[in-house]
Amino acid sequence: MLSERERRTLREIEQQLAEEDQRFAVAMSRPLTSRASRWLRRGHDVTTVLAVLLALTCLTVTPRTTAAAGVLAALLAITAFYLRRRRFPGLPTAERRWSGRG
């Protein structure tokens, strides 16, 4: 914990930075991720999970037509996973986020 003196000093530094560079202050006060990108990431995750489940279901039934659908669903899952990793490369995994290591 910071002492009252340290907190006061930190507030003074923050105020000086905000006065000197307002664009920097606005950028630092903004949340790290926007709500839209959070929904987009969740959409990628849901698509991947549903495609994997569909692929597993189609491949376990195994007639030739459903096996082909299973392969297509697996390709969809791989594509959705790849696009998510490409679009949001630096995001921590859920495991690191919850354990406090990310």
What's the whole-number mean pLDDT along residues 71-83?
85
Residue 102: the pLDDT is: 44
State the average pLDDT over residues 83-97: 63
For the chain, give the percent of residues with pLDDT over 90: 1
Can you give the pTM of this predicted structure? 0.47
Burial of residue 58 (CB within 10 Å: 0-12, 13-18, 19+) is: buried
pLDDT at 97 over 70: no
Region 83-100 average pLDDT: 61
Q: Residue 30 in 3-state DSSP? A: coil
